[in-house]
Amino acid sequence: MEKIIAGVAAFQKKAFFENKNLFESLADMQEPEVLFITCADSRIDPGLITQTLPGDLFICRNAGNIIPPHSNETGGMTASIEFAVAVLGVKHIVICGHTGCGAMKAALNPDSLKSLPHVSKWLSHCAAAEARVKARHETVGDEHILEMTEENVLLQLKHLETHPSVAAKMAVGSLSLHGWIYDIATGGVDSYDTKQQSFIPLADVVI
């Protein structure tokens, strides 16, 4: 905690002071253009990856960047998505998976979750992605984690479309969805291209 506390002090003395006008403008309002949904993994920093400032991204994080399909059961992800889309009026939603994802590794190896019932239940929202990967291979291992990560991002995009607030905005063309994979080791970001039906470098994607 010493490092964290020292960081807060440094922020207050330097970063906050240097951006004082920005923070004052954000004190009573926010107008983010993007809802950024990513993994809770400590190695992922959305602001750093996108080089954005406070106020630019509305961020939701959880193990495996999962979006449960819409239901009558209220959850944190469902409420956050509804608020971001219906109240804040975000124009884009990014679901960002990442390399070496422990949640995806666990999803491919359900036996490893016997002592983690809540994690196991949460990762059941990846079941269709897991089934697709396992259908292609006689056995699965660490070499298939990236494939699982990609399938999971695509599955969660489908889940996202079941949310009424999202469906309504997409119907009138005022909301776009994006699926990304962030490579921790290289800093690369790939985005799913619907025409090519594959993940390609973000720089090559036409928005």
The model's pTM is: 0.94
| pLDDT, tens digit, 9 for 90 and up, residues 59-99 | 999 999 999 999 888 889 999 999 999 999 999 999 999 99
CA distance 82 to 102: 28
**CATH class, range 31-196:** alpha beta
Instruction: For the chain, report the end-to-end CA distance as a whole number of angstroms.
Output: 42
| pLDDT, tens digit, 9 for 90 and up, residues 136-176 | 998 898 999 999 999 999 999 999 999 999 999 999 999 99
What ranges do the domains of the chain cover? 1-29, 31-196
Please list, in sequence order, all residues whose beta carbon lies within 8 angstroms of the beta carbon of residue 93, skipping any fewer than 6 positions away.
Answer: 34, 35, 37, 81, 84, 85, 160, 166, 175, 176, 177, 178
